[in-house]
């Protein structure tokens, strides 16, 4: 059986012509259409066409095609401009892969049959670089911006600025609006875009990761910190349980008071070896074998 795997930014290894353009802009949409047309044309020589980032599909498939089509859905489809149209596109496929059991339930409530197969991730490979981080502080890394509860993030930082001056927050990949809102905070270090060596060195130099999420499937920020043994401070929301190691490896909160209680009590912490062992279940080599088995069933 032959497979053609297509995703956002690549189709059989072909880089998008407009990959530098931000999402939801016209050039990016043109790029996605180009990739989609190219993938459909090349799929004639394969048995299975898999869109690893199926959220970007904008056109359905005719039933007369000779190959099978699979799409992995990452995002919250209820936040799309026209979720019913997207549901129609998904129902024109042969299979839909959900990246969490919660997302599978959401899709099925929308009338889309799906199967839950976890997202794969490989342990980061990097050269430890001097970050200049003060190791006497309790260092907390905050990475990524997608589905982030910015209000809770700002509140927690403001609280620690008053009550826990020994906690330093390290913000990676944050939008300018968040950086501007925190520009007067001495307990915050905002980083520009970093090369991999420095990016992972910053994470590995921290004691905790703080991920104030509003929605979750396969969150790369969570997966990468677990591979590095960094304990997470995580909200108790549906969708995160499939990837986050249970307590005490991770700390979870279900209210603002519980979150502030966590920040009141955290101390310096060494990497958690048990967390690293737990993360191995998400190695791509394990997930890819699940995908191959799934393809064979189509």
Adjacent-strand bridge partners of 190:
171
- Strands in 138-143's sheet, in edge-to-edge order, are 188-190, 167-172, 138-143, 208-210, 231-235, 251-253
Three-class SS of residue 223? Answer: helix
CB 147 within 8 A of CB 79: no
For the chain, how far is it from start to end, CA to CA, in angstroms? 11
Q: Which pLDDT does position 241 carry in this prediction?
A: 92
Q: Which CATH architecture has domain 3-120+283-297?
A: 3-Layer(aba) Sandwich (3.40)
Query: pLDDT at position 26, please?
Result: 52
Comma-separated ranges of CATH 3.40.50.2000 domains in the chain: 3-120+283-297, 138-281
DSSP secondary structure letter of residue 154:
H
pLDDT at 267: 98
Residues 297, 283: Cα–Cα separation, whole Å:
22
8 A C-beta contact, residue 56 and residue 30: no
Given this model, what pLDDT does residue 30 score?
A: 64
Pairing label, strands 251-253, 188-190 = unpaired
Residue 136 has a CB neighbour count (10 Å cut-off) of 9
What tokens does 221 get? 């920020």
Domain 138-281, CATH number (from 1.25.40.80, 1.10.3210.10, 3.40.50.2300, 3.40.50.2000): 3.40.50.2000
| pLDDT computed for residue 35 by the predictor | 74
Which residue(s) pair with 235 in the sheet?
253
Tell me the pairing of strands 10-11 and 3-7.
antiparallel
- 233-286 confidence digits (pLDDT tens): 999 998 899 999 998 999 999 999 999 999 999 999 999 999 999 999 999 988
Structure-token pair, residue 84 = 């019913």
Q: Where are any strands of DSSP class E within the chain? A: 3-7, 10-11, 14-15, 48-51, 68-73, 95-98, 115-116, 138-143, 167-172, 188-190, 208-210, 231-235, 251-253
Residues of the chain with pLDDT under 50: 1, 6-23, 27
Nearest CA-CA partner of 61 in 98, 23, 41, 91: 91
- The pLDDT value given to residue 128: 95
* Structure-token pair, residue 255: 């209210």
Give pLDDT tens digits for 120-131: 999 999 999 999
With contact defined as beta carbons under 8 Å apart, do 298 and 67 qualify? no
Measured CA to CA, the distance from residue 171 to residue 189 in angstroms comes to: 6
β-pairing verdict for 208-210 and 231-235: parallel
Rounded-to-integer distance, Cα 103 and Cα 116, Å:
8
Residue 189 pairs with which residues in a beta bridge? 170
Residues 233 and 227: their CA atoms lie apart, in Å, by: 15
Asked whether the beta carbons of 58 and 51 are under 8 A apart, the reply is no
């Amino acid at each position: 059986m032959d497979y053609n795997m297509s995703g956002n930014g690549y189709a059989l290894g072909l880089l998008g012509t407009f990959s530098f353009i931000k999402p939801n802009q016209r050039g990016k949409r043109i790029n996605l259409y180009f990739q989609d047309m190219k993938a459909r044309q090349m799929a004639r020589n394969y048995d299975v066409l898999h869109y690893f980032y199926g959220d970007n599909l904008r056109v359905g498939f005719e039933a007369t095609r000779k190959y099978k089509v699979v799409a992995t859905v990452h995002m919250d489809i209820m936040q799309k401009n026209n979720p019913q149209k997207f549901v129609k596109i998904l129902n024109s496929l042969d299979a839909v892969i959900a990246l969490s059991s919660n997302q599978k339930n959401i899709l099925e409530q929308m009338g889309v049959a799906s199967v839950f197969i976890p997202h794969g991730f490989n342990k980061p490979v990097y050269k430890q670089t001097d970050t200049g981080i003060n190791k006497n502080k309790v260092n907390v890394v905050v990475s990524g911006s997608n589905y982030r509860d910015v209000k809770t993030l700002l509140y927690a930082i403001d609280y620690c600025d008053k009550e826990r001056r020994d906690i330093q927050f390290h913000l990676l990949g944050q939008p300018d609006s968040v950086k501007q809102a925190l520009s007067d905070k001495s307990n915050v270090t905002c980083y520009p875009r970093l090369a991999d060596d420095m990016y992972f060195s910053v994470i590995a130099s921290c004691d905790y990761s703080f991920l104030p999420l509003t929605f979750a499937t396969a969150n790369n920020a969570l997966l990468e910190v677990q591979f590095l043994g960094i304990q997470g401070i995580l909200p108790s929301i549906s969708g995160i349980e499939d990837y986050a190691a249970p307590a005490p490896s991770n700390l979870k909160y279900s209210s603002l008071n519980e979150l502030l209680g966590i920040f009141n009590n955290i101390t310096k912490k060494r990497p958690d070896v048990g967390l690293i062992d737990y993360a191995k279940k998400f190695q791509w080599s394990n997930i890819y074998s699940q995908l191959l088995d799934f393809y064979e069933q189509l």
